[in-house]
Structure 1
Amino acid sequence: MVAPPWYEIPPPAYGGTEAVVARLIEGLQARGHEVMLVAAGRNGTGAEFAQTYPEPQHPCLGQVEIEVAHAVGAAGHIDGFEPDVVHDHTLVGPLTAPVRRAPTLVTAHLAPVGEAALCYRFIGGMAGLVSVSHAQQRVTSGIRWAGTAHNAVDPAQFPFRERKGDHVAFLGRMSADKGVHTAIAAARAAGHPIKIAGRCTRPEEIEYFEREIEPLLGPDAEYLGEPDTAAKVELLAGARCLLFPVHWEEPFGMVLIEAMACGTPVVALRRAAVAEIVEPGVSGLVCDTEEELPAAIREVGRLDPRDCRRRVSDHFDVGTMAAVYERHYLRLVRERSLSDTSR
């Protein structure tokens, strides 16, 4: 299991991909698999561990040199471990797949646009490339996909709460494409206070926050900063609903299933993978326009929190995700075996 070099596994706060990697390791071990994790920083899982960087490299997030060095280091560890399958969650690491005997499965955690689309087109031709939603596959043509494996959470780590507060919640990085400004306007129009939490550390996030969000804050719109795991769960579990007015083709949206696991319904715009994750009228309300959001916030209280949690348990729990990935691993092993036999 090759993780990106930016955050520890599991992440103490921000890190959706890293959280998925941690849960997948748990799910695979529960199914009897031996797992080796290659990552930066400390190991917070039960897997055998190989380290590329002593510290996670999030201050250098996106630097190609870091990704390349991480991929080279990971390749050396993989050779020593001799695995049956390599599961790579990075963008650069899959380029080493052709030089090893074990087949490689790659999860596409990024939206397949721009340079990422070019990479995924190339990767799909030499490794098994899996999307995290069906919607992700529709963004760009010409990519060879091996299937879809939805992200997942462990519901036990998100305590269910039936009684909700009056506030709505927004959780995500401070970015225009996340729709923070839209969330504040919708909550205000609905007459409900909003609590906002998320990462605001990169220059473009700080600029957006200071220009667009800070002037909108007040007694009914509070920014809480970047939460740790405990604060995140408390925010989601106590909210009337989670607002998700996304303005881009987000591949998945981990916060959707995290909120529903707490019994908190979602109010979202119908974009990206939203309709694939949220069951309209059961675990949330999905709107076609921003103008519909305030009414949905007022109406969402009629939904049953138990149905929200059931949606996660039935479709987005760790056991389901691990079983899907196991099928992909077995298929790759069989294909490699047949290829070797035919030579």
Structure 2
Amino acid sequence: MESRNELWRGRGALRIAMIAPPWYEVPPRGYGGIESMVADLVVGLVQRGHQVTLIGAGRGVDLRTYEQPPSQRIGDPMPEVLHAARVERMLEDLVVDVVHDHSLAGPLGAGSRAAPTVVTCHGAVTGEMGDYYRALDGNVALVAISSAQRARGSRLDWAGRVHNAVNVASFPFRDLKEDWVLWLGRFNPDKGAHLAIEAARAVGRRIVLAGKRSEEIEHAYFEAYVKPRLGQGVQYVGEADADLKRELLSKARCLLFPLQWEEPFGMTMIESMACGTPVVALDRGSVAEIVVDGVTGFVRKELGELPPAIEASGDLDPALSRAHVARNFDVPVMVGGYERVYHQVAVPGRTPGSPRDLPLAQS
């Protein structure tokens, strides 16, 4: 068997343990942005010659912590903790160069792992989450998913920034759009579904809503803010699986993204543009970093600016949106970014879990 040093001197292939969160299958059947990103990353890494062991819940993984993902228990800490404990036992039997952890509780075990741990921060990096990541300082290499996220976590010791990506070829491109607009996401106040309805109604456009509402906060928000607005050109089609999502995104005039928080990335935006469908969004979080204003959509400061942007979106060239995603947010771009981070962390002779003196990895 080749030694770790021989791998480095040769083709640069790495043995990687990829840890997904426990809540959805990899890839997910419906909702699951992190799981979708992880699935694409694994495929891309394997195609580049790396050996990847995927650990997660349900079908599609190499090692299972749960036979069925405990999706109905999101918000309960125990499934996450049990997932992390089972992962640590599994890692004891693996020989890897890098552990890439996408879970919340998993990085707590990074200090005792034989290989260095890379952690992608998929959510907030301020408040208690910022405190959590700072408490891990010295044990993990943190990767931001946008420059906006990295700036908000300016006190964190970042190892790099790697944008999320999609398999562009798996999204259908459609040049001719229909006359309705789309909102797609989680029914959470942060996502602003009711604001999308108001913006569409302001210009007399029919709006289709497709989203997840399995958690208590999502049910409460839907009942209070969305359900009373249904009808009169507002259609709710339930949670979209992979096929329905692609159909809706490819046909819509535009995707509405009226964020009410500092979104660290926003997978739906690149999925939409991959279909040639522009994004009309509020300038929060990473939006201006992902959407090219006036080319692949419109980025606006105020809610009152969204209705005219909806109308103007019909004048944009769908091919430019597709090309933008293919150039900046396709899977090979993301894989290359993580390869650079892995190679920095897994330098032969480095003490596992000591990334703080690494140079910043740009991608």
TM-score by length of structure 1 reads: 0.95
Residue 26 of structure 2 aligns with which residue? Answer: 9
Residue 208 of structure 1 aligns with which residue? Answer: 221
Q: Does the 8 Å CA contact 1:259/1:265 hold for their aligned counterparts?
A: yes
More relative contact order in 1 or in 2 (CA 8 Å, sep 6+)?
2
| 1:173-184 alignment, distance < 5 Å | 173-184=186-197
Distance in 1 (CA, whole Å) between partners of 2:88 and 2:76 is 19
Q: Does the 8 Å CA contact 1:192/1:220 hold for their aligned counterparts?
A: yes
Match for 1:270 among 270, 277, 283?
Answer: 283
Structure 1 residue 114 displacement after superposition: 3.2
Structure 1 range deviating more: 298-307 or 135-144: 135-144
Structure 1 residue 304 displacement after superposition: 0.5
Query: Is 2:51 aligned against 1:37?
Result: no
Query: Is 2:322 aligned against 1:305?
Result: no
Structure 1 residue 57 displacement after superposition: 1.2
Q: Over aligned residues, Cα RMSD in angstroms?
A: 1.2
CA displacement 1:204-242 (0-9 Å, x = unmatched): 111111111111111311111101111111111000000
Give runs of ≥4 in structure 1 deviating > 3 Å: none
Amino acid at match of 1:72: A
Distance in 2 (CA, whole Å) between partners of 1:199 and 1:7 is 13
Q: Does the 8 Å CA contact 1:170/1:197 hold for their aligned counterparts?
A: yes
| 1:281-292 alignment, distance < 5 Å | 281-292=294-305
Distance in 2 (CA, whole Å) between partners of 1:182 and 1:274 is 17
Residue 135 of structure 1 aligns with which residue? Answer: 148
Structure 1 residue 101 displacement after superposition: 1.8
Structure 1 range deviating more: 161-170 or 117-126: 117-126
Distance in 1 (CA, whole Å) between partners of 2:321 and 2:151 is 26
Q: Aligned with 1:218: secondary structure? A: coil
Query: Is 2:135 aligned against 1:118?
Result: no
Q: Does the 8 Å CA contact 1:132/1:148 hold for their aligned counterparts?
A: yes
Q: Does the 8 Å CA contact 1:124/1:145 hold for their aligned counterparts?
A: no
Q: Paired residues, what number?
A: 335
Residue 21 of structure 1 aligns with which residue? Answer: 38
Structure 1 residue 339 displacement after superposition: 4.0
Q: Aligned with 2:298: secondary structure? A: strand
Amino acid at match of 2:244: A
Distance in 2 (CA, whole Å) between partners of 1:303 and 1:161 is 13
Distance in 2 (CA, whole Å) between partners of 1:304 and 1:81 is 49
Q: Which has the higher helix share?
A: 1
Match for 1:253 among 249, 253, 266?
Answer: 266
| 1:1-343 alignment, distance < 5 Å | 1-43=18-60, 49-334=62-347, 337-339=349-351
Identity %: 50
List gaps (5 residues or longer) in structure 2: 1-17, 353-363
TM-score by length of structure 2 reads: 0.90
Distance in 1 (CA, whole Å) between partners of 2:138 and 2:258 is 35
Q: Does the 8 Å CA contact 1:91/1:119 hold for their aligned counterparts?
A: no
Distance in 2 (CA, whole Å) between partners of 1:38 and 1:308 is 34
Distance in 2 (CA, whole Å) between partners of 1:188 and 1:277 is 26
Structure 1 range deviating more: 199-208 or 319-328: 199-208
Structure 1 residue 338 displacement after superposition: 3.8
Distance in 1 (CA, whole Å) between partners of 2:43 and 2:269 is 21
Structure 1 residue 256 displacement after superposition: 0.1
Q: Aligned with 1:280: secondary structure? A: coil
List gaps (5 residues or longer) in structure 1: none
Structure 1 range deviating more: 67-76 or 250-259: 67-76
Structure 1 residue 138 displacement after superposition: 2.4
